[in-house]
Amino acid sequence: MSGEKSHLALLRILGPIHVWALGVGIVLVGEFTGWNFSADKGGALAALIACWIIGLLYTAVAMIDSEVTSTVAAAGGQYAQAKHIVGPLMAFNVALYLVFAYTMLEVSNAILVGDLMVATAGPDAGIERHGFVVLMIAVLCFLNYRGVLVTLNINFVITALAFLSIIILFFSVQPWSQGTVLQLGKMVTPENALPYGWLGVLASFQFGIWYYLGIEGTTQAAEEVRSPARSLPFGTMTGMITLLIGATITWYVCASMLPWEYLGFTFFPLYDAAKMTGSASLEFLLFWGTVLAGVASANGCINDASRAWFSLGRDRYLPAWFSAVHPTYRTPYRSILFLLPIALAFAFISDLNQAITFSILSGVLQYTFMSINVMMFRKKWPLGSIRRGYVHPFHPLPALILLVLCIITYGAVFLGYGSQLIAMVAFYLVVSLWFHFYRYRYVQRGAQFSMPWPRPSGY
């Protein structure tokens, strides 16, 4: 029996629709909050410029991920890529980037839903957000504990409903007749379009990432997808198209109904835009759309963070205790339960801006690695040397675009949160030293490389 349990593995039961639900479900909350803080940094027009330029960054991320992950179809996503292509130290850091990015995104979602409930109830209700935060995170952890298929089926439904609320709001405000309901010409004028100039546009990139942060999470399900070569590229790229459409619609509606000063301040831009219409039905719809988007995102984040932590345990980068798979539900249940109190702790000590910033910083560090990783991948295993599920076009242009935009984004983050950026880089440096000088001695060095690839070109 002990031998049988040691070979328990994650089930391959997911299809393209689940990949879409995981990627879009994590990200869609960024249309309901977070992106609008880019208007505070540079004005309404800067928020639109950030939407499209950062959209280019994430299109490159989606293309690169689709190729590498459909080839390295293992839990951990970018961690598994780094392990096989770059090396153990990079893989350890990438896994930590993933865990922190998704955990802090989960925290942001819980805070958002809690704050929305409190704001809607009013100051006389005497309620606090902490109860909602604990309930939401605990219930979603239980759902992930019980199985990935039901988790992502639920995510698909609530993500679709949240996205539908954006579409309904868009058509309800008659976007084809500017001036009837929407007032973009009055809200965004030549005088206030870029109140802080092009420096404000640069600063807006920091929160522009929130339009799309998390789409790379589709790779975390690679080991549980029935056909990685088909499902991962299709689910990821259709998810990115969905988000590009949703982000542009969101900006257009919000910038046409809310002054940029207020747009850069509120935590609920779409909900506030719905209230500006005077329609109780739209207000009700966008209230629940915001709640569902936050729940879907937190649900996907728990799934992704636990897979990255599970992968570290399976390869002995962390204690093997974390690599246990539930004998009935076939989920990495110990990793899910271990990360639960960590998420709750951050939810109690962080505010929404801090949680978003920490998630963004970890995400950008990961994207920087991806640009280097794919160039090493193509150099070590040229086209034709191994079987790829998908080949992204125009290489190395997407990797170079991604690297340049990541460097620009570091500058944007430094303008607003320089101390946090320095603190996080210092943290990752310290844990890298710990891994190199202490933990790596426990790693089973041969067992961690699981892909049946030929010797790399030039080695």
SS3 call for 26:
helix
Closest CA to 193 of 37, 25, 39, 319: 39
Third-level CATH fold of 2-442: Amino acid/polyamine transporter I (1.20.1740)
pLDDT at 7: 56
CA pair distance 90, 74, nearest whole angstrom:
17
DSSP 8-state secondary structure symbol assigned to residue 364: H
pLDDT bin (cut points 50, 70, 90) of residue 4 is very low
| C-alpha count within 13 angstroms, C-beta hemisphere, residue 36 | 29
For 412-428, what is each residue's pLDDT tens digit? Answer: 888 888 888 898 889 99
For 377-401, what is each residue's pLDDT tens digit? Answer: 999 999 989 988 889 888 999 999 9
CA pair distance 29, 163, nearest whole angstrom:
10
Average pLDDT over residues 359-378: 91
CA pair distance 127, 118, nearest whole angstrom:
6
Q: What is the DSSP string of 336-354?
A: HHHHHHHHHHHHHH--HHH
Token duo for residue 236: 């990821």
Is the per-residue pLDDT at 336 higher than 60?
yes
Distance of CA 451 to the CA centre of its chain: 26
**42, 267, 268, 277, 325 from 31: Cα distances, Å:** 18, 11, 10, 18, 34
Q: Where are the domains of the chain?
A: 2-442
CA pair distance 316, 111, nearest whole angstrom:
33
pLDDT at 224: 84
The answer to whether residues 12 and 223 touch, using CB atoms and an 8 Å cutoff, is yes
Tell whether pTM > 0.85.
Answer: yes
For 230-242, what is each residue's pLDDT tens digit? Answer: 888 899 999 999 9
Token duo for residue 131: 């109860």
For 108-167, what is each residue's pLDDT tens digit? Answer: 999 999 999 998 887 777 788 888 999 999 999 999 999 888 888 899 999 999 999 999
CA pair distance 305, 189, nearest whole angstrom:
43
SS3 call for 268:
coil
| C-alpha count within 13 angstroms, C-beta hemisphere, residue 116 | 27
Torsional sign, CA 414, 420, 424, 426 = positive
CA pair distance 308, 318, nearest whole angstrom:
11
SS3 call for 444:
coil
pLDDT at 5: 43
